[in-house]
């Protein structure tokens, strides 16, 4: 009889703990999705701000945005690939160097170099462009 009395509370405990874990797991997933959405918004805002600072026409701005997005997708693929760690960075750098080769004639060398710097460190490049425009 005592074993039966003990079994019911233990069963209730495990059911509650399982439910609590599922709720915690769902909450974590929601937080991760919220964080990723915030990161994507911040990224889009940085790219938009950067392209506006370049002072290029809408056509060129659209191409730059597409190329930047292409770069980040490809970089993510490389980083998540099975390639050894010491080979990943050279692959990323090689892709970055050839990213604008098909539309190179549309942009000045200075613009291309600025985009390259943006791909490496976008916050610093946005700050530098703002400073440069302020001084001019």
Q: How far apart are CA 112 and CA 102, in angstroms?
A: 12
**Which domain, by its residues, includes 113?**
2-135
For the purposes of burial, counting CB atoms within 10 Å of the CB of 95, is it exposed (0-12), middle (13-18) or buried (19 or more)?
A: middle
Q: Coil, strand, or helix at residue 36? A: helix
Count of domains forming the chain: 1
pTM, to two decimals: 0.71
Over residues 21-72, the pLDDT tens digits come to: 556 778 888 888 888 888 888 888 889 999 999 989 999 999 999 999 999 9
CB under 8 Å to 26, separation ≥6 — which residues? none
């Amino acid at each position: 009889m005592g074993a039966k009395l003990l079994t019911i509370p233990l069963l209730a405990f495990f059911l509650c703990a399982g439910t609590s874990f599922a709720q915690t797991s769902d909450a974590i997933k929601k937080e991760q999705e919220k964080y990723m959405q915030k990161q994507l918004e911040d990224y889009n805002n940085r790219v938009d701000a950067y392209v506006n600072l370049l002072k290029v026409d809408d056509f060129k701005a659209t191409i730059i945005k597409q190329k930047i997005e292409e770069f980040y997708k490809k970089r993510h693929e490389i980083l998540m690939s099975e390639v050894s760690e010491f080979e990943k960075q050279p692959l990323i750098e090689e892709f970055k160097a050839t990213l604008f080769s098909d539309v190179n004639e549309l942009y000045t060398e200075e613009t291309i170099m600025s985009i390259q710097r943006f791909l490496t460190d976008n916050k610093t490049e946005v700050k530098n462009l703002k400073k440069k425009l302020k001084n001019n």
